Structure 1
Amino acid sequence: MFGLSFIVVAAMVSIVSALPTNGTSNQRTCGSVLPAVKLIAAEDYFNAHKPQGDMSAFTASINVYWHVISADTSLEGGNIPDSQIDESLKVLNADYKKSTLSFKLKTVDRTVDQDWFENAGPDTPQQTEMKSKLRRGGPSDLNVYSVGFRSGTGAGLLGYATFPSSYRENPSDDGVVILFSSVPGGTSAPYNLGRTLTHEVGHWAGLYHTFEGGCSVLGGDYVLDTPAEASPAFGCPTGRDTCDLPGVDPIHNFMDYTDDACMNQFTSGQSTRIKQQLRCYRGV
């Protein structure tokens, strides 16, 4: 749903997160809030500088730097194998194929640091140190950090991400942080098919949640073709329709909060926004 109003954007997020079944909740939910003034400024800049015209010919290959953070060398301690990282990239490429984006794994590095593994989360000193030491590349390069989210602001999270508009202010903070067991074959069912990475990369590429703004016609995710949704959807509630507006709730959208197995699509409008955001803010 398209976004227009200052009133509703205070609820939009700069760092977005989701909660799994590992300790605090069995549902995804939002994380840190971007001050409304920053969001308005970002959208104003985007509207003034976004590429115009047909974006159908746009294609891009994104380099991925994967940083495995673990408490020890065991799988249970976060040391996921290369095979699960490879499967994660397969899911990511399949999910973004219709958006004409591809992702190429450049390197995988491994760091045993129990403090980072347990305590890295939005705005923590552990995540700042971790990213400052490990981040590679420039604004168009995707850095993925897999951690444990055991305590602090990250306790119980599935993942969080930064938005394209935040890169210029703090380049070293840029990237996506996910729960290590949310990768394909992980133990965080029903969030263990790789869709946490797809969802968080959506934010990294400039998308908001489909339920932003609720049923108000003034607000939303700044995309015209995502139906309005009063609140996040969980599980896979077929036929859910929470707004007296055109279209049923977009429960299959990667930017909702349903189970991994329920998610399978971006809209055409979301794909266009991804391309415009990547071009505008990341120089892709």
Structure 2
Amino acid sequence: MLSRTATALLLSLGTSAALGSLQCLNDDTLAAAALPTISLPTYVKRQDAPKAVDVYFHVTSTEANKDRITDAIVDAQFEVLHSTYLRHGFQLNLVNVSRIVDNVAGRGFYETTGIGIPDFDAYVAWRTATRCGAYDALNVYFFSDLNGGIGGVCNQAGVVQDGSQQFFLDGCWVNGDTMPGLSPRTGNDTAPRKGHVAVHEVGHWFGLFHTFHGRHCDGINDQVADTPAQAGASSGCPVGRNSCPDSPGLDPIHNFMDYSDDGCTTEFTPGQEERMHQQFDATSGIDSTPEDKRLHVSKRHSAIWASYNLKMLMAMASMHRHPRPASC
């Protein structure tokens, strides 16, 4: 059990055996009426230059699997993210790749089984010590030993204060088993391995919901008008699936924000692209609001950290010091 509520991290599990038997932990049960609606009756392709986004990878491993996620696999994963989001107007720039070896962190701080975090304070201290960049910087954590069934989770953007817990918990978690070219661990051999789980999770970071958000056929569940209604997550690649037969269109099984297998997912819709830009502009403080209304979060710099020691990080966090890895 969690020592306190961690809604930004541990959210409700879906019922589908999707993402190749792995689950995204982002909540898809929130009432759509409580969410901001973006009406997209028409769409005009953006002509402006891609928005630059700094990216920090944190490869987090147990001692037993510290050599499992190689540099080549990291490069391949970034190329999947870069090429996908460049098509939708975002220029992802990989600033730094840190490597963290710790038997607790390598499991994502989760219990041996299940999705509980026994020591939430240690988890927050670790995130505080490792997150890089401003609030508009994307931090992606890859774990060598996440429990079977966990695909990933990523925070939805919001307005936060610099130095707050919400600031430091911003970012995405991804099961290392889903990275392209990585051989599966025993018992997790159905995990997709084209890197699309990271694409899915980063979609949440840019403000997207699951295409089946709300799990019903009435209304625009995911707040995007051009994704057909969908009553539940897909699995595999169910061509012709139509979970909402009285609504226009078949289920968007090829959409990155569904749960279809990596070999099936290929796209975001124009409406999703527009939502990503609107959400990013609104929460990153770049160019969509007047200067006096912008959210400013300054970048941080630090000394070089050759390795991470969990007890040391906890001690430093308790003194309100926030160390950063090299190149942050």
Scaled to the shorter chain, the TM-score interval is 0.7 to 0.9
Asked if 2 retains the 8 angstrom alpha-carbon contact of 1:17 and 1:158, the reply is no
Render the CA deviation track for 1:242-269: whole Å, top value 9, x for unaligned.
1121111100000000111111000000
Distance 1:85 1:204 in 2: 20
Render the CA deviation track for 1:212-244: whole Å, top value 9, x for unaligned.
133432340000000011110000011111112
Distance 2:146 2:95 in 1: 28
Change (3 A) 1:196 1:17: farther
Instruction: State whether structure 2 residue 75 is matched by structure 1 residue 86.
Output: yes
Report which stretch shifted further, 264-273 or 78-87: 78-87
Distance 1:81 1:256 in 2: 28
Distance 1:138 1:38 in 2: 29
Render the CA deviation track for 1:120-157: whole Å, top value 9, x for unaligned.
35773254232111000011101111114545xxx531
Change (3 A) 1:275 1:218: same
- The percentage of aligned residue pairs carrying the same residue is 31
Distance 1:30 1:39 in 2: 22
More helix by share: 1
TM-score, with length taken from structure 1? 0.79
Change (3 A) 1:279 1:78: farther
Instruction: State whether structure 2 residue 158 is matched by structure 1 residue 158.
Output: no
In the alignment, structure 2 segments of 5+ residues that lack a partner are: 1-6, 185-189, 287-328
In the alignment, structure 1 segments of 5+ residues that lack a partner are: 1-12, 20-24, 48-52
2:139 counterpart SS class: strand
Give the letter for the 2:201 counterpart: E
Asked if 2 retains the 8 angstrom alpha-carbon contact of 1:178 and 1:196, the reply is yes
- Structural mapping, 1:93-112, within 5 Å: 93-112=82-101
Query: Which stretches of structure 1, 4 residues or longer, exceed 6 Å deviation after superposition?
Result: 16-19
Deviation of 1:105 after TM superposition, in Å, equals 0.8
- Aligned position for 1:273: 275
Asked if 1 retains the 8 angstrom alpha-carbon contact of 2:20 and 2:235, the reply is no
- Aligned position for 2:4: none
Distance 1:159 1:259 in 2: 14
Distance 2:56 2:221 in 1: 31
Distance 1:163 1:39 in 2: 17
- Select 1:138's aligned residue among 134, 137, 140: 134
Deviation of 1:31 after TM superposition, in Å, equals 2.4
Deviation of 1:283 after TM superposition, in Å, equals 2.3
CA-based RMSD of the aligned residues comes to 3.1
Distance 2:32 2:243 in 1: 29
Report which stretch shifted further, 96-105 or 221-230: 96-105
Change (3 A) 1:107 1:79: farther
2:197 counterpart SS class: helix
Q: Considering only CA atoms, is the larger Rg found in Structure 1 or Structure 2?
A: 2
Render the CA deviation track for 1:147-174: whole Å, top value 9, x for unaligned.
14545xxx53111100112655610000
